[in-house]
Amino acid sequence: MEYLSIVFQEVYKILFLLVPVLVSVAMIVWLDRRVWAFVQKRQGPNVVGPFGLLQSLADALKYIFKEIIIPSSSNKVIFILAPIVTMTLALIAWAVIPFSATQVLADINVGILYLFAVSSLGVYGIIMGGWASNSKYPFLGAIRSAAQMVSYEVSIGVIIINVLLCVGSLNLNDIVIAQQNMWFVIPLFPMFVIFFISALAETNRPPFDLPEAEAELVAGYQTEYSGMMYAMFWLGEYANILLMCAMGAILFLGGWMSPIDVYPFTLVPGAIWLILKILLLFILFALVKAIVPRYRYDQLMRLGWKVFLPLSLIWVVLTSSYLFYFNLLPVN
């Protein structure tokens, strides 16, 4: 009986985390389209519900009632598994995100490694979908995304090392608390910029949306998907974007910490600060989508390997020598 009650408690906690995440993913799709529209002097979705807020729900309803078509020449098991993998990986990562000093589902001591591992597994959903479709465009999209995501993971990993050098712990809460005096975005500003751009590439957002470049590849790896399976890819993608924003907020913008450490601001719960920071980063993501044209593939690779990797490696050397020379290395 005791086991059962523990299990129920955990399930309750997980639902309490997952349902808001899923709802905010739906909202964020609406926000993305609105920001995109405003930049282009359009209205965007504004019909369903107040300000068009329920547009995503209407879309989801439409997807649910659409027929799922499985191509007869596809590899059926992997074809069905692919969107499930994308969605699951995008959601399990939220387990370690701290919403305040105590509000975290799993406060594990290698939290940042877990986040990095889960985000690097995200490529499998795309590769599996692209390969199992047994069709040219999805396959090309999958191959492109595999190369792209592996390249940009490297620089994200090195940037994480930069932050960890200043923190001395892999725990996400420790990373947030280490930014009590100064957010890492100030001393590590170049790394924040590189992280932001790498996150764009890692989540296949424009200007790095080559895996699904509509003009050349129809829709890349999701060409053959329809109905709810397509919607799951789409939800997983946006959940991943939110996750990357959360990662950026925790690593560089002080996570759940209030920006000013004075009385009225510290009363606001940490979750709200974290959400505001995630929203700030997400609006930047949406603006980039509206403003910047798509990269050419060779330039994308060049940027990842020849610019970001050396730059972030040099910054690791700089950070560690600075910390070592001024005896600031965190030792515990």
* Complex with another protein: residue 124 or 196, whichever CB lies closer: 124
Residue 288: CB minimum distance to another protein, A: 20
Residue 66: CB minimum distance to another protein, A: 28
From the list 182, 180, 184, the residue with the least C-alpha distance to 163 is: 184
**What gap in Å lies between CA 109 and CA 106, rounded to an integer?**
9
Start-to-end CA span in the chain (Å): 40
Residue 194: CB minimum distance to another protein, A: 18
Kindly tell me the burial class for residue 290, based on how many C-beta atoms sit within 10 Å of its own C-beta (0-12, 13-18, 19 or more).
Answer: middle
* Complex with another protein: residue 42 or 296, whichever CB lies closer: 296
Residue 244: CB minimum distance to another protein, A: 15
* Complex with another protein: residue 85 or 281, whichever CB lies closer: 85
* Complex with another protein: residue 78 or 271, whichever CB lies closer: 78
The residue type of 320 is S
DSSP string across 172-211: HHHHHHTTSSS-TTTTTHHHHHHHHHHHHHHTT-TTS-GG
Residue 128: CB minimum distance to another protein, A: 8
Binding site for another protein (CB under 8 A): 3, 78, 108-110, 113-114, 116-117, 120-121, 123-124, 127-128, 131, 139, 142-143, 146-147, 149-150, 153, 157, 170, 298-299, 302
Peptide bond into 310 cis (omega under 30): no
Residue 184: CB minimum distance to another protein, A: 20
* Complex with another protein: residue 84 or 146, whichever CB lies closer: 146
* Complex with another protein: residue 242 or 303, whichever CB lies closer: 303
Torsion of Cα atoms, 187 then 282 then 16 then 64, to 10°: -150
* Complex with another protein: residue 81 or 283, whichever CB lies closer: 81
Cα distances from 108 to residues 58, 113, 140, 246, in angstroms, run: 38, 10, 38, 17
Residue 121: CB minimum distance to another protein, A: 6
Helix axis angle for 123-132 and 76-92, nearest 10°, is: 170
For Cα atoms 257, 264, 285, give the angle at the middle one, nearest 5 degrees: 45
**What gap in Å lies between CA 278 and CA 253, rounded to an integer?**
9
**What gap in Å lies between CA 6 and CA 210, rounded to an integer?**
45
Q: How many residues does the chain have?
A: 332
